[in-house]
Amino acid sequence: MSDQINELFDKDGNLIGALLTAEAWTTVRALVMDALGVNENDAPDAPEVKPEPLADWETLTQYWDFPYAVDMDVACENCGNRTEDWSSDEPRKFRLTSANLAGLVAFQCMDCRAKVVKKHFKDEIVTECTPYREEKITSKEGRY
């Protein structure tokens, strides 16, 4: 069809959707939203705050097989906020947003809303801090 559009078919050959490149979607987004009657202002102003995935954190610590002790310290390079034990702070300085058995743990800084990611590797911990952006790049935003 086009380099900008890929049509998607089911196993019987019925058209079930289309996949557009980011460039194509940015170009036609307003027309499509208007044609479908989707009003973006209907979305809630504040995103729903999900509970911390503490069960995932507990699973990670239960199966911890790294040669170093479980680390509880978190530091935000963006605003300088830091704690020695994120789980015992009251009020929370960092909020756990995700954790998995592979050793990837993410936090949100409660001061500046930056995302702090701790990657636990066999011999080291790599920490990344990404500042919060109020305005998102819509062509890179995933919505489900």
Q: pLDDT tens for the chain, 144 residues: list them.
A: 678 899 999 989 999 999 999 988 899 998 988 898 888 766 555 667 788 999 999 999 999 888 888 989 999 998 999 999 999 988 889 999 999 999 999 999 999 999 999 999 988 999 999 998 877 766 766 665
State what percent of residues in the chain have pLDDT above 90. Answer: 48
Among candidate residues 112, 79, 72, the one with its CA nearest the CA of residue 96: 72
Neighbours of 103 (CB within 10 A): 16
Among candidate residues 111, 80, 79, the one with its CA nearest the CA of residue 93: 111
Q: Side by side, which strands form the sheet with 125-130?
A: 94-99, 104-109, 115-120, 125-130
The pTM of this model reads 0.63
Cα gap 121→135, rounded to integer Å? 32
Note whether 117 and 104 are within 8 A (CB). yes
